């Protein structure tokens, strides 16, 4: 794929460059579709055969290569930028291959564009300041992952496996997973950005306190920023964006978010439902704004969080039946009690991690942003605090079973 994209980028000129671009994008996406959606396609085929009264054939499950989704998005963005004339085709194959397989962020982002790293690939500067700041970001990201996300992981797994959850089970599952996913994914992004700084690269921020958003549009400007901007620049704008008729603009939002949902999931249609829900929410918010309507900031924040947290339920659930069971419980239709499973699994450190995670997630960005020019005592805490958190996290890593990054599965 790297060789094909590199050679193809060198030939994106002339009268047939549109066809060349289409073939190159098709080749990259076909690889992604096979490895990511072949199993889902077989499930539909097997269900069809069963409905017709036939036994389905044997099927060896197709494994998803690590990092494939991000490689494909980076390759497509490079090809489109070269086609548009926004990027010169890279003639050095080694530099291009380094961009595609960039160490640190390849597994779960942020999704890079070639123009962001092109100059650094040629003239990187390794500095003590870069190592110091990079190590600090890495240790903070590592601590986010281990102390909060990994601590909540067994609780989340148990809560989503409860067969008859009550009201408090369902809401605890929703809140715990919302915090786990944020600190797992944002923690990885911080680690990748830290590795980049240590190696002389400046990767873009991928999260900016998304749970402090006051609208669904603001949420997507703060959550997985590299993916949301990729969807905007390479899907939404080519479809016409907001320059078309209003109904077409609403449809474009729903379409691109549905594609974003499908990109996340290969084994369940729940990801498609999650994408559609976010697309509809963005369309409704756009219509609300077009009508000149508004709401108080506090109410907007509450409604945004409520929708985002509820949408995570279907995102995390293995199937629609599980999600529907939890939604019913959240409405109080399945009783109000805590299940025996929850009472058995729940520990005080789960409550501590959840409370700490919610507090940090809901803080305004200005409160948790890096201190630019700290004084002596603040400088000690600025660099010494992450070291202490990192050492504590290492103690947890050595004392319990490791938990994979959630975004490895995508």
Catalytic residue ranges: 264
Q: How far apart are CA 410 and CA 394, in angstroms?
A: 26
Q: Cα–Cα distances in Å, from 160 out to 149, 155, 273, 406?
A: 16, 9, 18, 15
SS3 335: strand
Residue 333 sits at φ, ψ, to 5 deg, of -90, 0
**CA 134 to centroid of chain Cα atoms:** 22
Q: Cα–Cα distances in Å, from 382 out to 40, 93, 359, 385?
A: 47, 40, 19, 6
Residue 335 sits at φ, ψ, to 5 deg, of 95, 170
| Cis amide bond preceding 110, omega within 30 | yes
DSSP state of 150: I
The DSSP-derived string for 279-320 is: HHHHHHHHHHHHTT----HHHHHHHHHHHHHHHHHHHHSSSH
SS3 268: coil
Q: What is the 3-state secondary structure (H, E, C) of 56-93?
A: CCCCCCCCCCCCHHHHHHHHHHHHHHHHHCCCCCCCCH
| HSE (side-chain half, CA atoms, 13 Å) at 224 | 17
Q: Comparing C-alpha atoms, which of 197, 205, 184, 189 is closest to residue 135?
A: 197
Yes or no: say if 166 and 338 are a contact pair by the CB < 8 Å rule. yes
Yes or no: say if 183 and 357 are a contact pair by the CB < 8 Å rule. yes
Q: Comparing C-alpha atoms, which of 104, 140, 98, 155 is closest to residue 121?
A: 98
- Which of 162-165's residues contact partners 24+ apart within 8 Å by CB, and which partners? 162/339, 162/341, 162/342, 163/325, 164/325, 164/334, 164/335, 164/339, 165/325, 165/326, 165/329, 165/334, 165/339
Yes or no: say if 329 and 167 are a contact pair by the CB < 8 Å rule. yes
């Amino acid at each position: 794929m790297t060789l094909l994209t590199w050679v193809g980028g060198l030939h994106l000129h002339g009268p047939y460059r549109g066809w060349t671009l289409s073939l190159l994008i098709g080749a990259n996406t076909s690889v992604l579709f096979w490895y990511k959606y072949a199993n889902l396609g077989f499930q539909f085929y097997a269900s069809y055969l069963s409905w017709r009264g036939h036994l389905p054939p044997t099927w060896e499950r197709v494994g998803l290569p690590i990092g494939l989704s991000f490689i494909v998005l980076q390759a497509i963005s490079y090809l489109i930028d070269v086609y548009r004339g926004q990027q010169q085709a890279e003639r050095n194959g080694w530099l291009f291959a380094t961009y595609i397989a960039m160490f640190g962020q390849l597994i779960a982002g942020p999704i890079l564009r070639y123009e962001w790293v092109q100059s650094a690939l040629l003239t990187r500067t390794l500095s003590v300041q870069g190592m110091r700041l990079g190590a600090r970001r890495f240790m903070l990201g590592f601590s986010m992952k281990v102390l909060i996300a990994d601590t909540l992981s067994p609780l989340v797994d148990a809560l989503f496996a409860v067969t008859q959850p009550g009201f408090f089970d369902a809401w605890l599952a929703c809140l715990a997973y919302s915090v786990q996913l944020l600190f797992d994914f944002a923690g990885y992004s911080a680690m990748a950005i830290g590795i980049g700084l240590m190696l002389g690269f400046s990767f873009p921020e991928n999260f900016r306190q998304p749970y402090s958003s006051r609208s669904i549009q603001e949420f997507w400007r703060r959550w997985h920023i590299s993916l949301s901007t990729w969807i905007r620049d390479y899907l939404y704008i080519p479809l016409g964006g907001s320059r078309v008729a209003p109904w077409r603009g609403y449809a474009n939002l729903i379409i691109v978010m549905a594609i974003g949902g499908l990109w996340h999931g290969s084994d369940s249609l729940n990801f498609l439902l999650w994408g559609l829900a976010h697309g509809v929410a963005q369309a409704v918010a756009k219509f609300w704004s077009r009508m000149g309507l508004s709401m108080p900031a506090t109410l907007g924040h509450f409604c945004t969080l409520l929708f985002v947290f509820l949408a995570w339920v279907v995102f995390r659930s293995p199937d629609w039946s599980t999600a529907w069971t939890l939604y019913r419980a959240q409405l109080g239709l399945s009783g109000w009690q805590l299940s025996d499973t929850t009472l058995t699994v729940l520990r005080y450190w789960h409550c501590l991690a959840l409370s700490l995670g919610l507090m940090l997630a809901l803080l305004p960005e200005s409160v948790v942003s890096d201190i630019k020019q700290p004084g002596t005592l603040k400088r000690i805490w600025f660099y010494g605090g992450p070291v202490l958190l990192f050492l504590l996290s290492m103690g947890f890593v050595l004392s319990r079973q490791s938990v994979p990054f959630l975004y490895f599965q995508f």
